[in-house]
Amino acid sequence: MKRLTIRARLTLVHGGLLLLAGVVLLAVTYVLVDQRLREPLTGVIAKADVVQASPFGKVPAPGAIEQVRILLREAQDEAKRNALESLLTQGGVALLLISAVALGFGWLIAGRALQPLHQITGTARRIAAADAGGRGLHERIALRGPRDEVKELADTFDLMLERLDRSFDGQRRFVANASHELRTPLALNRSLLEVAMSRPGASAELRQLGETLMAVNERHERLIDGLLTLADSEQQVVHRAPVDLAEIAGHLLDQVAGTPELTVRRRLTPATTAGDPVLLERLTQNLVENAVRHNLPAGGEIDVSTGTVDGRATLVVVNTGPVVPSYEIETIFQPFRRLHHDRVAAPRPDPERSGARDRAGAGRGFGLGLSIVRAVAQAHGGGVHAQPREGGGLVVTVILPSLVGAVPGHLARAVPAPARG
């Protein structure tokens, strides 16, 4: 059974109390009028009895006095009955009309009284709809009015938002600062290894050790780069430029087209949105890398499609692979969380291909790829969801605002986002 809203319940309570008070008032009035209507004619009948008993003057016949008394009583009863019926009928109609008007005014007054709660609810809903990265926490209710219970609730909610906002900002700053600081020693290690390996007298063992250390260093650099991207993507995108997801997807698929034992299918139609080109490219790159990494060792397939559906730019990446339980879908979007059946990665493409090693083969991942995808999508006002593919693998769908809906009116003046180091 559906419960009534607070506004409806308040309206019914106010209207019911008014109706109850009106019924009580009408009943009291009925009793008082009933008692009052007896007194005048009762006095007349008493005077008739006095006249009959008086020794002076002509005394009417006893039968006439009794007949007058009966007529007076009948007239009194008829008048009282008519008056009481009119009181009940007209009073009841007036009470119903007043109750109906009171219900209308009660509805308006209840809505007015609950307006601050609607403001609190609207703010909370906007913050909840923003994303899980805390971007909407800068908003405040800032309720004005007397310091009553609702004002205290709104102020407490604002205080909680302020503390959460500081906490999220501190977390993002820590990740960004730590990632930047870690880049320096990694770059120094890479330089030292390159110098050691380039020496003319370097032995084969030294070169093999250097290559191994370079691979480890590269893996750490990719981890740091992922952390930086995740911290960056959790900030609201300010500078937007037109971006075609089909163009980005086509470029990235060209890099993995030569991967052995991997079938790449593409259905790319224009899917133009507005946003940060670097972040959107990283979003698409992570999806493609994830599809390659978690594919079958042999005979795997990747199907990438783009387009505009219902005024929204969409990117769908489908890959074969091991069966993914539906209860683990949400897990793969959390940072540093990987499925338990991670396997050996698909073979790498030729490193000589431009960017192929960075895009296609990365070995075992860090659990940041889909976290970055979700953060980037939400930063652009969109979303991402995944579902298990029948027979194994994943179907990941990214939905972003279309070009018209993303930056209305001033997209032509959009400034491209600055390149990130």
DSSP symbols for 21-79: HHHHHHHHHHHHHHHHTTHHHHHHHHHHHHHHH-SSSPPPPHHHHHHHHHHHHHHHHHH
Q: Return the H-helix or E-strand segment holding 395.
A: strand 394-401
Query: What confidence score (pLDDT) does residue 360 get?
Result: 33
Torsion sign across C-alpha atoms 75, 78, 82, 88: positive
Query: What confidence score (pLDDT) does residue 236 get?
Result: 62
Query: pTM here?
Result: 0.52
Q: Do the Cβ atoms of 398 and 314 come closer than 8 Å?
A: yes
Q: Do the Cβ atoms of 290 and 361 come closer than 8 Å?
A: no
Nearest to 165 by CA among 157, 153, 175, 154: 157
Query: What confidence score (pLDDT) does residue 348 get?
Result: 41
DSSP class of residue 140 equals -
Nearest to 9 by CA among 90, 132, 103, 117: 103
**247-282 confidence digits (pLDDT tens):** 999 999 988 877 777 888 999 999 999 988 888 988
d(CA 174, CA 164): 15
Which residues of the chain are under the pLDDT cut of 70?
A: 1-2, 38-62, 65, 130-136, 226-227, 229-238, 296-298, 336-367, 404-421
Question: How far, in Å, are 6, 10, 14, 25, 154 from residue 109 at the CA level?
Answer: 12, 9, 10, 24, 20
Nearest to 388 by CA among 307, 303, 314, 320: 320
* DSSP for 261-327, written as a single string: TEEEEEEE---EEEE-HHHHHHHHHHHHHHHHHTS-SSSEEEEEEEEEETTEEEEEEEE--S---GG
Structure tokens at 161: 């938002």
Torsion sign across C-alpha atoms 67, 73, 77, 80: positive
Query: What confidence score (pLDDT) does residue 141 get?
Result: 83
SS3 call for 235: coil
Query: What confidence score (pLDDT) does residue 250 get?
Result: 92
Query: What confidence score (pLDDT) does residue 212 get?
Result: 87
Nearest to 308 by CA among 404, 186, 196: 404
Question: How far, in Å, are 59, 193, 311, 410 from residue 404 at the CA level?
Answer: 108, 50, 9, 10
SS3 call for 385: strand
Torsion sign across C-alpha atoms 344, 345, 346, 352: negative
Please give the single-letter amino acid code of residue 298: A
d(CA 76, CA 48): 15
Q: Do the Cβ atoms of 375 and 295 come closer than 8 Å?
A: no
Q: Do the Cβ atoms of 286 and 233 come closer than 8 Å?
A: no
Q: Is 57 left (phi over 0), alpha (psi -120 to 50) or beta?
A: left
Nearest to 266 by CA among 323, 307, 320: 307
